[in-house]
Amino acid sequence: MNTIHVISNSGIVFGTSGARGLVKDFTPAVCMAFTHAFVNLLKKESSLTTVALGIDNRPSSYSMAQACAAALYESGIEPIFYGVLPTPALALVARKNKIPCIMVTGSHIPFDRNGLKFYKKDGEITKLDEIEITKASVDFNMPATLPKLELCSDAEAIYIERYTSLFNSDLLSGKRIGIYEHSSAGREIYHKIFTALGAEVIRLARSDEFVPIDTEAVTEEDKSKALQWSKEHHLDAIFSTDGDGDRPMLADEKGEWLRGDILGLLCSRELHIEAVAIPVSCNTAVQKSNFFKRVELTRIGSPYVIDALSKLQSKFVNVAGFEANGGYLLGSNITYNNVTVDSLPTRDAVLPAVIVIAAAQHRSISELILDLPERYTHSDRLQNFPQSNSSRILQEALVLPEVFIRRLGINGRNIQNVDQTDGVRLTLDDGSIIHLRPSGNAPELRCYAESSSSLHARKLVDQVLGNIKYL
């Protein structure tokens, strides 16, 4: 078999963060082909003896990791299998050991889909690396059986210590923190972090079935759960993540989920970050806050944020990136509470949550938000929406934006600006923003809206998506 033929015929493509597709298309041959192509990329840069492997809780993830391991063995490389753990925990242990890693995860997408994330010794692969992987030509053989994987458990302690080392063990004494565990890859870790910091932890809604939590489109059910849990358990905060633990969800003391970019903004202020890189979909409160010397806007996806971070590093000492989905990327080593925190330029869920909960020791989380400019965002998506439909709609919005918003039922408003950084982002003359973008991971069309009113932002998303279905 040859990698370029297997990959090109697989139906698997790279999205905003990793290769994603249907589980049925991630055959052992496809997983091996991607792994061989990744190894081919790595060997061009340096010698290679070991690669770290991790998985999420999806039913298909272990067998996919077995196929990746088979390719590594065939290449003369020893896989180190860390089992189920958050993606940033795998990236952290690999970075400390100066080895590459592969994470088998589909993040937030449904369990009938999965994916592969690739990391070099210094962090996530780039978009150029992705192209090279898809074009690699490496011959390989299918084994008679896939190898069993022996578990290494070193990563958990390293990940926990990264956060608990920042504070005294009584930091959260008297605080009640809910952990919405569902099927998150980090559910065996999170309660240990908050307990070590002195909090009373209430573990909530653990699931033996995979739950596709999307931190950018929190379901009404999860909103209701948070409100109920907050009242029932008298919680100071609720913490959760998506499936692979790289994107956080944090609810305040009222049970209201924070938007991911607001969480990132609060965290960056506490860490005294000088310059930030954020996707264009983030709340404009980031710019309006004047907390930073530079705000660099990027396309949506962690590889674009990481690329922008590398450029900021030459001009600023403390840099970070964050996304509307909550993923936080620390682009430089920083000193916090007289402790040095090493950079981790990949999405992380724990750092922003711990820092913001710590900042709310003497004020509530909702009070911290009052310091920010009053700009509100909302987002949702149309699922099972063909890519061809998304392309047609975006083209119409781009060519005839004024006509397009009328077809969406938005009357009495004019277009002030059209931004094509990623998708189509329309700024109206009242300052409201409508941003349409097809998902890079699934057949979905996402809509982001921003306004000076939370209710208006929500109404815009509902109105846009409700009408687009009939265009």
The question of whether 451 is a catalytic residue gets the answer: no
Instruction: State the DSSP code for 346.
Output: E
Residue type, 37: A
Task: State the Cα–Cα distance between residues 426 and 412, nearest whole angstrom.
Answer: 15
Give the amino acid at 202: I
HSE-up of residue 195 (Cα within 13 Å, Cβ side): 9
Point out the catalytic residue in the list 60, 107, 184, 390: 107
Dihedrals φ, ψ of 350, to 5°? -80, -45
Task: Let me know: does 295 contact 314? Beta carbons within 8 Å.
Answer: no
* Cα–Cα distance list, 339 to 270, 335, 342, 388, 457 (Å): 14, 5, 10, 50, 40
Any alpha helices (H) in 112-189, and if so which ranges?
Answer: 127-135, 154-164
Cβ–Cβ under 8 Å, residues 215 and 323? no
Going by C-alpha positions, the residue among 456, 464, 450 that lies closest to residue 406 is 464
Output the CA torsion sign for 107, 13, 283, 405: negative
Q: Which residues carry out catalysis?
A: 107
